A and B are shown apart, each in its own frame.
Chain A
Amino acid sequence: MTTRIHPPDTPPPHDPDDECLPCGRLLSRVWSDWEEGAADSHAAACPDCTAAVAELERLETAVRGLRDDTEDASGYDPAPLTERVMDVVRLELRPGHPLPLGTPEEDMWVMEYAAARVLRAAAERVPGVRSGSCRITPERDMPGRVTVSLHILAPITAPSLPALADEVRRSVGESADRRLGLEITGIDVHVIGFADASDDSEKGFLP
């Protein structure tokens, strides 16, 4: 049990809102002891402390009522607010940089974020894998080609991480070829952690 004397930020003993009870204890201490559940034998017996606590308890009763009045988060429909937010977001998209498709003479491109969504989804076709960051970068010395860096969460049950990474690489490479037509020189797969097995329910938001 410590009485805070001259703490650095606030000086409760000099706080004009604080009050020394007739029993000698500061009101701030009596209340904080009550809040921390740290009441001692003095507090239990002292009529001044008991009265001070009773006052706070009366407040807490009203607080509980107020809390219940505003406890309606479960019934809140987030759809209209989400739409308003997304209306603004869609005016401020971040598509990333253009990635080359076909030969340089053909002058055809796909924006990075659109390609990244396809590749993330490809990684997640490997059971239990969740994908995070996916960066696709044009190769500086090989026009028309790109390299991929992908972060994944591995399923906790994966028997071998290298084998899992190979499987992810295969799936991503196949999608890059069959669904996009990107010429990929390399796919770096970084396992950044393990996915919660129960997390699978949330998988349905990628194409």
Chain B
Amino acid sequence: MPGNRTPTWAPDAGTGPDDALLAVRAGEGDEEAFAVLVRRHAPALVRLATRLVQDRTEAEDAVQEAFISAWRKLPEFRGQSSFGTWLYRIVTNRCLNILRTRKPQSQLEAASRISAPEHSVAPDRITEGRAAIEELHHALAGLSAEQRACWVLRELDEQPYAFIAETVGISEQAVRARVFRARRQLTDALGAWR
């Protein structure tokens, strides 16, 4: 059933109460506890940021800054949410800011951002599906920052609407509307390609 998605990654997956303890210690100045948290959460957050900004270097910078800002805010972090969810939110918002400041770019420029594996594939292997993925990549650059963030969290990170609403700080209805508009634009783009 298309509606019944299981998130491939939840911010708290497999960390148990350990994250909370480490976050408290880090808040009290234990930088080694913080290093454990950074190492543990970096891969998933870099993946999230890369999906959002479509540029590995910018994504890593965003995640790095998010962790540094987390270190500064940790003494006030009272565990209202889990450490993972908190970081997920910080990274998403940093990426949103990156997307907002990005100048509108042509789809050609957008294409050059992507270290696309398809370029290394022999021409006869470029199937219709592969071309559609490429086209989708380009079309994403045409979305507004807000649409793109909501769409990526929903479609690539497979998060529930309520979680996205909380992360981005808007209502669930607004998230649904943004995802709908993004889908509309993307299906149009794929349609144009057909």
State the A residues within 8 Å of B (CB): 4, 7-10, 12, 15, 17-18, 27-28, 31-32, 34-38, 55-63, 65-67, 69-74, 76, 78-79, 81-82, 84-86, 88-90, 92-96, 112-113, 116-117, 120, 130-135, 151, 153, 193, 195-196, 199, 202, 205-206
| B132/A7 in contact, CB under 8 A | no
**Pick the contact of A38 from B3, B9, B136 — CB < 8 Å?**
B3
Q: Give Cα distance in the complex from A133 to B26, angstroms.
A: 9
Binds A, one of B62-70, B90-98, B101-109: B62-70
**Pick the contact of A73 from B28, B35, B47, B155 — CB < 8 Å?**
B47
Provided the pairs A17-B180, A18-B180, A85-B64 are in contact, do residues A120 and B43 lie with their beta carbons within 8 angstroms?
no
| A67/B156 in contact, CB under 8 A | yes
Provided the pairs A78-B39, A82-B38 are in contact, do residues A199 and B132 lie with their beta carbons within 8 angstroms?
no
Q: Is the interface of B mostly helix, strand, loop or mixed?
A: helix
Q: What 1/0 mask marks residues of chain B from 2 to 30 whose CB sits below 8 Å from any chain A CB? A: 11100011000000111011001100111
A-B contact count (CB 8 A): 182
The count of chain B contact residues (Cβ–Cβ below 8 Å) is 66
CB-CB under 8 A from B68, the residues of chain A are 85, 88-89
Q: Give Cα distance in the complex from A193 to B39, angstroms.
A: 25
- Is there a chain A Cβ closer than 8 Å to B42's Cβ? yes
- Some 7 contacts from A to B, beta carbons below 8 A apart, are A10-B173, A59-B190, A62-B136, A73-B47, A82-B35, A84-B64, A135-B28
The minimal Cβ–Cβ distance linking B1 to chain A, given in whole angstroms, is 4
Closest 3 A/B residue pairs (Cβ): A37-B3, A78-B42, A113-B29
- Is there a chain A Cβ closer than 8 Å to B33's Cβ? yes
| B21/A81 in contact, CB under 8 A | no
Closest to A203 in B: B18
Using A32-B176, A76-B46, A95-B29 as known contacts, list a sample of 7 further A-B pairs with CB atoms less than 8 Å apart, ordered by residue number in A: A9-B174, A15-B180, A37-B2, A78-B40, A81-B42, A85-B35, A132-B24
| A81/B64 in contact, CB under 8 A | yes
**Pick the contact of B38 from A55, A86, A202 — CB < 8 Å?**
A86
Closest to A37 in B: B3
**Pick the contact of A116 from B28, B34, B155 — CB < 8 Å?**
B28
CB-CB under 8 A from A117, the residues of chain B are 30, 32
Closest to B137 in A: A66
| B3/A66 in contact, CB under 8 A | no
CB-CB under 8 A from A202, the residues of chain B are 18, 36
**Which residues 151-175 in B have Cβ within 8 Å of A in the complex?**
155-156, 158, 170-171, 173-174
Closest to A90 in B: B31
Closest to B157 in A: A67
- Is there a chain A Cβ closer than 8 Å to B141's Cβ? no
